[in-house]
Chain A
Amino acid sequence: MGFDQFVADRLDRLLGYATAITCDKHLAQDIVQNVLIRAQGKWERIGAMDAPYLYVKRMVTNDYLSWRRRRAAREIAVERAELAKHAPSMADPADAHAEREAMRARIAILPRKQRAALVLRFYEDCSDAEIAQVLGCAESTVRSQLSRALQTLRTHELARSATLGVHS
């Protein structure tokens, strides 16, 4: 597949993925742009792979996980967490929108690698093996990252339900 064709087919999806793992659309844009420019330079090799998309996704993920401005990323997440704390009290708990926004905020404060695993599973529908490829780790690590993420989200969910007096 040619590079231009790849971009035409996958750019939007890639931006969605990057936005979901970074929780910052501008950072996502920067990362995707930089990665695609780099990928173009070695497209001969990438384009010949079985799964070029998986490889480019790995580049995007690596860029984010090794991103130096951790503090800035942290700030975004914290801000989101602040919002989340206030969301339940302001909104009707039965409101699906509020539920979703609260979950979004909790996902935003997960450790980066856990969030990446989560997005790969629930947004990209990747298998454990594929996630392992993208994250560059063992499948057992993928499973532990995912279970830790789900554990955290569940704990929060339970705490929130208890506070609000509803059963989840």
Chain B
Amino acid sequence: MNDLIRQAIAAEAEERVDSRTVLANLHKAKKRKPFGLIVGVATLTVAAAVAAVVIPTTLKKTDASPAAQTPAAQNVLLIGTDEYHRTDALVFARFEGDGSATVISLPRDIYVGSGPDRINSLYMEDPRKLTDAVEQMTGAKVDHYAAINMSAFGQIAAAVGGVEVCLSAPAKDPRSGTDLPAGRQLISGDQALAFLRQRFDLTGGDLDRAKRHQAFLAGLAAKITKDNALMIARQVSGTIQVDQGWDVAEFAARFQGPVKIRTTTLPVGEPVQRDGTFGFAVDPAQAKQFVETQFNGEGPVRDGCVY
């Protein structure tokens, strides 16, 4: 009788719907963004900082009197640091009054001045030096900055159940611990950190890494819901530092609904050698032009797989 039962159950199971239909539905469900809100790294980082760190203190001071008019556009420099406060990632973002943002990755191996000093060494010396250098290079004013320890992103990714990224090729790098197959996948925890940190064996080095940061942040933005936003804020609180005198409550008031984010990387050309190391020499005139165009208009929207 057992064989008969086996056959009967197998026949019942044989009735199942085509798995491709279900797969298509799953993808559709994935694309349906949680209440349509899309936020990029900048929004996330800063909004989280706001929620977790700054709002409670500022509200006490100002007795919460929300400004009626649209907040002014602001340029914010976001600094991703490692556990030793060294700069791992630099992102210059312009937030419009409606919360939409243009996000430009600044490769960290950009030389400042004519010597071998790179932009990534400045923040540790003095945040002011870094913001000055960015202003000089881009011609745009840095209204505020926020620094976040990037190790928090591993936990954040884990907290949202993994962040989807897409790799054009398998990534394996013993130095960062990266070991990921090609294709779309969810990464979190240590793998997410390794993914964000890997720089060796990437054809474009730090430039590819900047693309990875953008891809990761877009993936992370897609996972943010009003249910987990607070938890994310808690995760990053204590790892974020913002400049003194930033009215973050006013800044945060602009994030009310769906937010458009455009991401791009500052073009830097071929690496040049100074004092035996390679870096990028940015032509300030070109950089100014690029940043101005991006901050004023339509930058490309990044989508697709990264190396």
Q: Write the residues of chain A forming the contact surface with B, with a CB cutoff of 8 angstroms.
A: 2-5, 7, 11-12, 15-20, 23, 25-26, 28-29, 32-33, 36-37, 40-45, 47, 96, 99-101, 103-104, 107-108, 118-119, 122-123, 150, 153-154, 157, 168
Contact = CB atoms under 8 A, between A and B. Distances in A.
B186 A103 contact: no
Given A26-B17, A29-B17, A157 B1 contact: yes
B69 interface: no
Given A4-B184, A32-B22, A43-B186, A118 B161 contact: no
Contacts of B189: 44
Nearest to A28: B16
Q: Is the interface of B mostly helix, strand, loop or mixed?
A: helix
B70 interface: no
23 contacts: A2-B181, A4-B185, A4-B186, A7-B26, A19-B12, A23-B12, A25-B16, A25-B17, A29-B21, A32-B22, A37-B26, A37-B29, A40-B186, A43-B186, A44-B162, A44-B188, A44-B189, A101-B11, A103-B4, A107-B8, A123-B9, A150-B1, A157-B4
Interface string B66-105: 0000000000000000000000000000000000000000
B7 A103 contact: yes
A113 B183 CA distance: 39
Contact of B22 (A29, A100, A119): A29
B16 A18 contact: yes
Contacts of B185: 2-5
B15 to A, nearest CB: 5
A42 B287 CA distance: 42
Given A11-B23, A43-B162, A19 B4 contact: no
Interface in B181-195: 181, 183-189
Contact of B158 (A44, A103, A154): A44
Contacts of A44: 157-158, 161-162, 186, 188-189
B168 interface: no
B25 interface: yes
A122 B2 contact: yes
Contacts of B61: none
A92 B128 CA distance: 90
A36 B157 CA distance: 19
Interface string B27-69: 0011000000000000000000000000000000000000000
B8 A100 contact: yes
Contacts of A118: 5, 9
Interface residues of B, number: 36
A122 B13 CA distance: 12
Contact of B6 (A37, A99, A122): A122
A41 B186 CA distance: 11
A33 B16 contact: no
A115 B16 CA distance: 17
A33 B22 CA distance: 7
A119 B11 CA distance: 12
Given A4-B184, A5-B185, A107-B8, A123 B13 contact: yes
Nearest to A106: B8
Given A4-B184, A16-B16, A122-B2, A42 B9 contact: no
B12 A20 contact: yes
A7 B187 CA distance: 15
A30 to B, nearest CB: 10
A143 to B, nearest CB: 15
B19 interface: yes
B4 A99 contact: yes
Interface in B152-206: 157-158, 161-162, 181, 183-189
Contacts of A107: 5, 8-9, 12
A12 B16 contact: yes
Q: Which 5 A-B pairs have the closest CB atoms?
A: A16-B13, A103-B8, A15-B16, A19-B16, A104-B8
B95 to A, nearest CB: 29
A100 B7 contact: yes
B115 to A, nearest CB: 45
Contacts of B2: 122
A155 B21 CA distance: 39
